Amino acid sequence: MVKEFAARHGSALRSLAMLVGLLATVAAVVVGAILAVVFAATVAVIAVMASALLGFAGLALRARRTAQARRNDGVIEARHLGGHHWVAYGWNESR
C-alpha cells in the first residue's frame, strides 16, 4: 500500500517541485520589491524636478512683474526705422 501511494503521487518529485516553486516565489518577491523601490525613487525625483520647475516659474513671473512695474520711470520707447528715422512712443502721455 505504501509503495502504491509513493508511485502514484510522486512524493519526492512533489517536494522538489514545492522547493523550486518556493524559490521562484521568493525571487519574484525580491525582484518586485526592488522594482517598487526603483519606481518610488523615480517618482520622488520627478516630484523634486517639478517643484523646482514651479519655483523657477514663480521667480520668473515675479521678475517679469517687477520689470513691468519699473518700466514707467520716464524713459520713452523708441524704434529705429532705418537711416536717420526714429519713432518714439510714450513721450506725450501724462503721468
pLDDT in tens, 6-41: 555 567 777 888 899 999 999 999 999 999 999 999
Mean pLDDT of 39-67: 94
Q: What is the 3-state secondary structure (H, E, C) of 32-79?
A: HHHHHHHHHHHHHHHHHHHHHHHHHHHHHHHHHHHHHHCCCCCCCEEE
pLDDT band at 66 (very low <50, low <70, confident <90, very high): confident
Reply yes or no on whether the pLDDT at 95 is more than 60: no
What Rg value do the Cα atoms of the chain yield, rounded?
38
Percentage, residues of the chain above pLDDT 90: 45
Grid-cell match 517687477, residue found: 66
